[in-house]
Amino acid sequence: MQNIFAWIMGILAAVIPGLAPSVPAGWNGYVEADYTYAAAPAVGTITRIAVAEGQAVKAGDVLFVLDASQQQAQYDAAEARAQSALATLQNLQTGSRQDELDVAQASLDKAQSDLNLANTNLTRTQDLYDRGLTPVSQLDAARASAQAAQATAAQLQAQLKVAQLPARDAQQIAADASYKAAEADAETAKAALDQRTITAPSDGRVERLFYKVGEVAGAGAPVLSIQGGGALKVEFYVNQQDRQRFALGQPVAVTCDGCPAGLTATVSHFASDPEFTPPIIYSRDERQRLVFLTEATMDNQNGILPGQPVSTELQHE
């Protein structure tokens, strides 16, 4: 008979507010860790996974590698274009090569020798003409040869000066712009190549692997998760009436099965939106169904494990 009475009271307490026996004020929740998700920045086949679940990692450690054959080829081509553009720029800045200058100088030396010979021949012919020993036509021919030799020497002298000069400013500016563009393309290709090797952003422990070697990881899809060095948090749900009893920085007591005594946490966050919204207006009865997520940072990070169900109570009110 006593069991039947207890059963009836339980049914009535579930449907009639105020009939349930009073219980200590507390809120149930669980412990949540700070997780970092390592994802592939672009689609690619996973060629190597360098870590295992449960392994401790340091910031900068290699986590996994994506196939980089296409990115390597693109970088090699971009680097070759950059080197070609640099060579063109340097050639315009320094003028002709030394071998080309040597050829131009030799041609000028020959022209000057021909000019000296033509001037000597003209002087001799002029002396013979003055003594009446040669006709005027021969003198004119000697004078024409000397003038031609003079013109050839002057032309080669000008060509040598041009060869020694760098290119015009406009040509150098254009070549410099081409080199900078090629260098930027090479840097972009190098960045894409580097992104095929994913490293740990911070210290932590590998929590879960979501892919295997040989599988294709999508862009932005997490390949593994890392439990970071951030603080453990207790997440629990408070109804809309008890919510007014909490404040940021307020201490709460934390208890759980098998955990050491004396665990505490500090309230660090309140959710503004309720976790459950009734399908009708907020009447007095329906408001009781609203709960709000509240977070408290564990003061002792070594006394509890992530995922552990816990109960929380206010320490001081």
Please state, as a whole number, how many other Cβ atoms lie within 10 Å of the Cβ of residue 140. 12
Q: What is the per-residue pLDDT for 288?
A: 62
Q: Which amino acid is at 13?
A: A
Q: Looking at 43-57, 95-109, 215-229, 232-246, which range is the least confident one?
A: 95-109
Q: How far apart are CA 107 and CA 160, in angstroms?
A: 9
Q: How far apart are CA 160 and CA 101, in angstroms?
A: 7
226 with 35: CB under 8 angstroms?
yes
User: Model confidence over 111-161: pLDDT tens digits?
Assistant: 787 778 778 877 877 877 777 777 877 777 778 777 877 877 777 677 667
303 with 259: CB under 8 angstroms?
yes
In sequence order, the β-bridge partners of residue 29 are 236, 310
**Which domains, from first to last, does the chain contain?**
231-314 (2.40.30)
Q: Which residue from 309, 299, 302 is spatially nearest to 30, judged by alpha carbons?
A: 309
Q: Which residue from 68, 66, 67, 62 is spatially nearest to 199, judged by alpha carbons?
A: 62
27 with 237: CB under 8 angstroms?
yes
Q: What number is the average pLDDT over the span 231-255?
A: 86
pTM summary value = 0.54
